[in-house]
Amino acid sequence: MEALMPEPQIYVERTLAIIKPDVIDKEEEIEDVILRSGFRILQKRKLQLSPEQCSNFYAEQFGKMFFPNLTAYMSSGPIVAMVLARNCAVSYWKEMLGPSNSLRARITHPHSLRALYGTDELRNGLHGSVSTSSAEKEIRFIFPEAILEPLPTGQRARDYLNLYVKPTLLAGLTALCKEKPAEPM
């Protein structure tokens, strides 16, 4: 029986999604697409960033020609930031977003979110983290109260399941068998 049981795995990964100022009126529509794509929205916050906060958030873009326009655009109105979770969240969200240039996205990825909601390279409607490490950093920036514990994988995940989950399940199922309720549901 043990040989037939699959290895325990924890599939949840987190990423940051931002609905930018020019498409905030499409918030409900975009959230619906997110939820239908298998994501869970763990946290959500509507806020307006100052130009200084935008400069800090996009610090890796500093020195590029579009940086001043980017910080002005991102601080021009409220944004909606969300922590999304699912299996391979970062790569799946990037795939849903499509290319950062909305004009190019309309040609190469016509069903992507940036093709649908963006207007050009700067005003592309949505933001997504580029990697799991940048997702963690960006989530901490937008949600400073968030507790981001590393998700266990491999042997750590198996140890967690064996130590906490399996004993609880065994106790619950044993109690249920002893009771033998007529209507278990």
Gap between the Cα atoms of 93 and 95, Å rounded: 5
How far is Cα 128 from Cα 175, in angstroms, rounded to an integer? 46
How many CB atoms within 10 Å of residue 115? 22
For the chain, the structural domain boundaries read 14-142, 152-184
pLDDT at 58: 93
Q: List pLDDT tens digits, range 19-44.
A: 999 999 999 999 999 999 999 999 99
| Closest residue by Cα to residue 18 from 77, 104, 68 | 77
Q: What is the pLDDT of residue 1?
A: 47
The burial class, CB within 10 Å (0-12 / 13-18 / 19+), for 84 is: buried
In tens, the pLDDT along 128-171 reads 999 999 999 999 999 998 766 666 667 777 787 788 888 888 88
Torsion of CA 103, 105, 106, 111, to 10 degrees: -150
Identify which has the larger pLDDT, 93 or 174.
93
| Tokens encoding 89 | 């969240």
Residue type (1 letter), 56: N
SS3 (DSSP) at 148: coil
- pLDDT at res. 163: 84
Domain 14-142 has CATH 3.30.70.141: yes
* Per-residue pLDDT, 160: 76
Above 50 in pLDDT, residue 78? Answer: yes
Q: Which amino acid is at 2?
A: E
Q: Which 8-state DSSP code applies to residue 182?
A: S
127 is catalytic: yes
- Residue 12: pLDDT band with limits 50, 70, 90: confident
User: Is residue 42 within 8 Å of residue 59, measured between CB atoms?
Assistant: no
- For residues 122 and 74, the answer to whether their CB atoms sit within 8 Å is no
Catalytic site residue from 112, 124, 127, 143 = 127
User: What are 107-137's pLDDT values in tens digits?
Assistant: 999 999 999 999 998 899 999 999 999 999 9
Q: pTM for the whole thing?
A: 0.75
pLDDT of residue 11: 53
The two structure tokens encoding residue 3: 């040989």
